[in-house]
Chain A
Amino acid sequence: MNFRTIEELVLLAEKEGKQISEIMILEEAEASDMTPEQITSRMSLHLDTMEKAVQRGLSEEVISRSGLVGGDARKLQGYLKQGTNVSGKRMLEVVSRAIATNEVNAAMGTIVATPTAGASGVIPGCLFGLSEEMNVDRDQMLRFLFTAGAIGYVIANQSFISGATGGCQAEVGSASAMAAGAIVEMAGGTPGQLAQAVAIALKNTLGLVCDPVAGLVEVPCVMRNAMGAANAMVAADLALAGVTSVIPADEVIGAMYRIGQAMPGTLKETALGGLATTPTGEAIRKKLYNEFPDEDKEDI
């Protein structure tokens, strides 16, 4: 790939007079033996998988293996249809789809990692929640995924995208930054505004730890996906309004890396700290364990 940083990505797009999504498709074609058409078709399969997960989460009573999460996407949709709400229709359409996808994930359903499974609700939530509202076609939806992918490619190589190495900031934070940038492009913003949205969204999730109750991708993951999607919407609007981040995107990505390095292991997907070790978190873990008495307990 001919870009390693967000700055290089933006400069490349500006120099070529192209959108970030087009740059990503062309760079992928250059780096692989696939044509742009083949690359787009492959992404189209992912888009279908994402759509099915969203639909399943909104239409079925999807309950996780432990029973801790499930049904909240439908609850939010019911609330939205009933009339009055605080955040507005567009925001709740987005957030309910983010929750729907992550509920399907928690139930060991089929999803697309974007960039990870734990954070798999943020990008499809924003995409499918906004696509109807903003009346975009399938081509634009595919572009959304390539734009998000380009941003994620930079973050993954410059920092990290897994909770075990960088905490939740690396998962939901990265997904939120990817979605924020992709929303900006879909809404007609410039590559420069996209970089601002990435910086703003990622700044706001720095330091977020990965502390899953009982080691399950359920609590707080599903709600974190709701937050990640909402944060992406706000960051995109700020950038489209012309607000700029004092700290540029690449430096925010660098800060995320250093924060992740400094984060103790107990807060990096080990279920040894944070929400996992609250009295309720501990009680849930013990209850789940008693249901599986044959498992050895001393290593937990």
Chain B
Amino acid sequence: MKYRSVFDIIGPAMIGPSSSHTAGAARIGRMARNMLGETPKRADILFCGSFAQTYRGHGTDVAIAGGLMGFDTFDTKIKDALSIAKDVGLEINISTVDLPDEHPNTAWITMSNDKECIKIKGISLGGGKIEIVESGGFDMCLTGDAWTMLVFHRDHYGMIAAIASVLADHRINIGKMEMYRTARGQEALLVIETDQGIDMETSHKISSIQDVGRVSVVPPL
């Protein structure tokens, strides 16, 4: 079930004109920002399908820019997000591509701050509902419904147990967990949805585990 709550249907409260192209785009931008941990310095946005054909009319560009600065769907600043982005030093480049096999509302965001560069792929399902379906070369499904932690690490035995035990120490319950790896012993990603919020201390403890790389904590939308 893609839609899990009555508020996925009645809601969100939002700035018009389109729940998929404006509110959904703002949410993709905000999820991307949360995955990076801060507002990026630069974001290259690639739209395909309906996003590519109609992004200007729907304000998809302003909405995604607003999301990258942390604006929620109902934030009236979304309307001026492109000029606000200039003021806060966020460089935005938009381009389009024609890929008929992709979901009709797909956006890729390649964003960077001073330290790193992350590429994500988001799709907008309608009614403001979104999914982040790719990040760092891994396929995934982030919905923004729950607290989510992304733990990039090197694949070997005991990693999941070590990470889970830190969560257990902090009384954080795991609702859903998915493991992805490029190959045995290679780069891997653990995506963990939790019932409780994940604080800085917990994420620091996890990132200090040996062979753990980047840790992103993504709050629910």
The interface of chain A, by Cβ under 8 A from chain B, is 1, 4, 24, 28, 31-33, 39, 42-43, 45-46, 49, 64, 66, 104-118, 120, 123, 145-146, 148-150, 152-153, 156-157, 160-165, 170-171, 178, 212, 214-218, 265, 268-272, 292, 295, 299-300
Task: With a 10 A CB-CB cut-off, give which of A28, A153, A162, A215 has the most chain B CB atoms.
Answer: A162
Whether A153 pairs with B9 at a CB distance below 8 angstroms is yes
Given A215-B57, A270-B50, A271-B54, A108:B8 Cβ within 8 A: no
Flag whether B39 is at the interface (Cβ < 8 A). no
Whether B53 pairs with A118 at a CB distance below 8 angstroms is no
Task: With a 10 A CB-CB cut-off, give which of A45, A161, A171, A218 has the most chain B CB atoms.
Answer: A161
Flag whether B70 is at the interface (Cβ < 8 A). no
Flag whether B197 is at the interface (Cβ < 8 A). no
Residues of B within 8 A of A (CB-CB), count: 48
Whether B127 pairs with A110 at a CB distance below 8 angstroms is no
Given A217-B57, A299-B96, A117:B16 Cβ within 8 A: yes
User: How many Å lie between the Cα of A150 and that of B100 in the bound state?
Assistant: 33
**B176 to chain A: closest CB distance in Å?**
15
The interface of chain B, by Cβ under 8 A from chain A, is 1-23, 49-50, 52-59, 74, 76, 78-79, 96, 98, 100, 104-105, 124-128, 195
Interfacial chain A residues near B76, Cβ < 8 Å = 110
Whether A110 pairs with B126 at a CB distance below 8 angstroms is no
Whether A28 pairs with B6 at a CB distance below 8 angstroms is yes
**B169 to chain A: closest CB distance in Å?**
22
13 contacts between A and B (CB under 8 A): A108-B16, A117-B23, A123-B10, A148-B10, A153-B9, A162-B125, A163-B20, A164-B105, A165-B126, A216-B57, A217-B16, A218-B17, A270-B54
Task: List 5 tightest A-B contacts by C-beta distance, closest first.
Answer: A162-B126, A215-B54, A215-B57, A105-B16, A217-B17
User: How many Å lie between the Cα of A215 and that of B52 in the bound state?
Assistant: 10
User: How many Å lie between the Cα of A268 and that of B20 in the bound state?
Assistant: 13
Interfacial chain A residues near B11, Cβ < 8 Å = 46, 112-114
User: How many Å lie between the Cα of A45 and that of B128 in the bound state?
Assistant: 17
Whether A215 pairs with B6 at a CB distance below 8 angstroms is no
